[in-house]
A and B are shown apart, each in its own frame.
Chain A
């Protein structure tokens, strides 16, 4: 008997949640410390590959482009046209000039953000929240904090269910939701009272039932039904991530203080 696998069983979903958190932190760190956008770009491309391995490419592409394109346009506009660093004009629109330095800087910020967003997306789409919290708890996260994470993730679906029941009950009392936008919105007002009220009383009652099930015992270490395995591959991944971060940081520092010449001077380091 196993916990239902809600996620496609792939090498990525099988990783320990802490490995994935480590990946977010280390990859993000690498992109951040690197003096220009090039490493970030390499990592983003790598994340696209990972999303294929994790069998979530369409979700991943949607999020990356949905966020990436507007942010890129916005930053290019602000930094490219108005950055004080701008010296080299690459295009002249008449009313403003596009500067190379600003564009490169914008590219760096966008790549840094995409590395964080991309690795976080892969983690959240391939990790069962219960497993994440179990891993965090066994790593020393407070049981109450763990509860808060899980409970707040459940608030929305619960409210939705509640809302639909209450809507049925109110319709049965003659409350109509048809008509124009305004009358439909107005029809929602009577729903709010019961939804809020019942959520409050439910939350109160739930708080007390949790304690009768041992929530808040202080003298024992909590265990979890959800199994998270720490395998050799996790060990390897963690070491690789840490070593990579150390090397990247060392090179970056070298470049900053001038010991190492810029590897990609064209990219605006």
Chain B
């Protein structure tokens, strides 16, 4: 399979900003893969997310160079609404993702489908499926304004992937959820990914990144500091100098003197070995 997203020497400086948010960023995302972007705050992660869905340049103005191709065409030549047929973004702040025009959670979920002109019977069917999957089927009749943070986050996520985008961009989309709630969401992400959806995720939880990602890109001050498989990136000694954590399993395997492991199961095996 080929690259579905190609970022070519992309730089961007927000209007009124002193320095460029991202500079000379190059990477491509294989169709059907799970691509993670990590880095300290202010490294340019959200800027890239905004650029992928066309908010840059269509919404945020500023100085821009290079190109972003989504499914072969330049995002600058399309509109945000048009791009929403291919690529969906779940924002960091779920409260601002709601349309605030819906009287019920069901309508909120269906909002994007309505914009795409999906017939009502299909809409109802999709809402039901997504609500069950997200475990929000018990609040479908509730007013979105009355939800808790965790519920809003589930609704925000559901309202994006209900549109069946081929590419799903997740900008720290589980910050309001309890640990098992986050895991549940990522199980769904993994399933969507297995069914062919390309996923690009930004996250601060390195264990999660190591567990799910096919490719990890580290950003530092707007530049790509490292890119590779989770194993390549996290086994690099110098990675923490770029302002990111490594999974605890890495430090544990180093301390145990064994080969580097980045996920739970091999770490358990290694620890069992050490206990023997």
Where the two chains meet, the residues of A that have a C-beta atom closer than 8 Å to any C-beta of B are 1, 3-4, 6, 128-130, 133, 143, 147, 150-151, 154, 157-158, 161, 202, 205-218, 220-227
* Contact among A3, A4, A151, A202 with B101 in the assembled complex (CB-CB below 8 Å): A151
Provide the residues of chain A in CB contact with B89, threshold 8 Å.
Answer: 212
Do the beta carbons of B128 and A221 come within 8 Å of each other? no
Do the beta carbons of B80 and A211 come within 8 Å of each other? yes
Do the beta carbons of A206 and B123 come within 8 Å of each other? no
Where the two chains meet, the residues of B that have a C-beta atom closer than 8 Å to any C-beta of A are 53, 55, 58-59, 79-85, 88-89, 91, 93, 95-104, 106-107, 110-120, 123-124, 127-128, 140-141, 145, 159-160, 163
* Contact among A202, A217, A223 with B123 in the assembled complex (CB-CB below 8 Å): A223
Provide the residues of chain B in CB contact with A216, threshold 8 Å.
Answer: 79-81, 115
B201 to chain A, nearest CB (A): 16
A238 to chain B, nearest CB (A): 23
Provide the residues of chain B in CB contact with A128, threshold 8 Å.
Answer: 103
A226: nearest chain-B partner, CB-CB: B107
Interface centre among A158, A215, A216, by most B CB within 10 Å? A215
**Contacts A1-B128, A150-B101, A222-B115 known; A217 to B120 CB distance under 8 Å?**
no
A207 to chain B, nearest CB (A): 8
Do the beta carbons of A221 and B106 come within 8 Å of each other? no
Provide the residues of chain A in CB contact with B104, threshold 8 Å.
Answer: 3-4, 130
Give 12 A-B pairs besides A218-B81, A225-B113 with Cβ atoms closer than 8 angstroms: A1-B140, A133-B101, A150-B101, A151-B101, A211-B79, A213-B88, A213-B159, A214-B115, A215-B99, A225-B106, A225-B107, A225-B124
Do the beta carbons of A213 and B84 come within 8 Å of each other? yes
C-alpha spacing A249/B140, complex, angstroms: 47
Do the beta carbons of B59 and A208 come within 8 Å of each other? yes
Provide the residues of chain B in CB contact with A158, threshold 8 Å.
Answer: 100, 145
Do the beta carbons of B80 and A208 come within 8 Å of each other? yes
A14 to chain B, nearest CB (A): 17
Q: How many A-B pairs with Cβ below 8 Å? A: 127
Provide the residues of chain B in CB contact with A151, threshold 8 Å.
Answer: 100-101
* Contact among A212, A220, A222 with B80 in the assembled complex (CB-CB below 8 Å): A212
Provide the residues of chain B in CB contact with A3, threshold 8 Å.
Answer: 103-104, 106-107, 141
A208: nearest chain-B partner, CB-CB: B59
* Contact among A129, A157, A210, A220 with B99 in the assembled complex (CB-CB below 8 Å): A210
C-alpha spacing A49/B244, complex, angstroms: 70
* Contact among A130, A208, A221, A226 with B55 in the assembled complex (CB-CB below 8 Å): A208
Do the beta carbons of B141 and A130 come within 8 Å of each other? no
C-alpha spacing A206/B100, complex, angstroms: 9
Do the beta carbons of B107 and A213 come within 8 Å of each other? no
C-alpha spacing A206/B55, complex, angstroms: 12
* Contact among A1, A154, A217 with B100 in the assembled complex (CB-CB below 8 Å): A154
Do the beta carbons of B53 and A212 come within 8 Å of each other? yes
In the A-B complex, the 3 residue pairs with the smallest Cβ-Cβ separation, listed nearest first, are: A214-B115, A220-B117, A225-B110
* Contact among A129, A154, A207, A217 with B145 in the assembled complex (CB-CB below 8 Å): A154
- Cross-chain pairs A/B with CB under 8 angstroms, 5 sampled: A3-B141, A6-B103, A130-B107, A211-B59, A211-B81
A218 to chain B, nearest CB (A): 8
* Contact among B55, B84, B123 with A214 in the assembled complex (CB-CB below 8 Å): B84
A7 to chain B, nearest CB (A): 11
A43 to chain B, nearest CB (A): 31
**Contacts A161-B145, A225-B124 known; A215 to B96 CB distance under 8 Å?**
no
B119: nearest chain-A partner, CB-CB: A223
Do the beta carbons of B107 and A217 come within 8 Å of each other? no
C-alpha spacing A218/B84, complex, angstroms: 13
C-alpha spacing A227/B82, complex, angstroms: 26
Do the beta carbons of A1 and B106 come within 8 Å of each other? yes
Provide the residues of chain A in CB contact with B85, threshold 8 Å.
Answer: 214
B80 to chain A, nearest CB (A): 4
* Contact among B81, B95, B103, B118 with A223 in the assembled complex (CB-CB below 8 Å): B118
Do the beta carbons of A223 and B93 come within 8 Å of each other? no
Do the beta carbons of B106 and A217 come within 8 Å of each other? no
C-alpha spacing A150/B59, complex, angstroms: 23
Do the beta carbons of B114 and A223 come within 8 Å of each other? yes
C-alpha spacing A154/B98, complex, angstroms: 12
Provide the residues of chain A in CB contact with B107, threshold 8 Å.
Answer: 3, 130, 225-226
B35 to chain A, nearest CB (A): 19
**Contacts A4-B141, A151-B100, A225-B110 known; A214 to B81 CB distance under 8 Å?**
yes
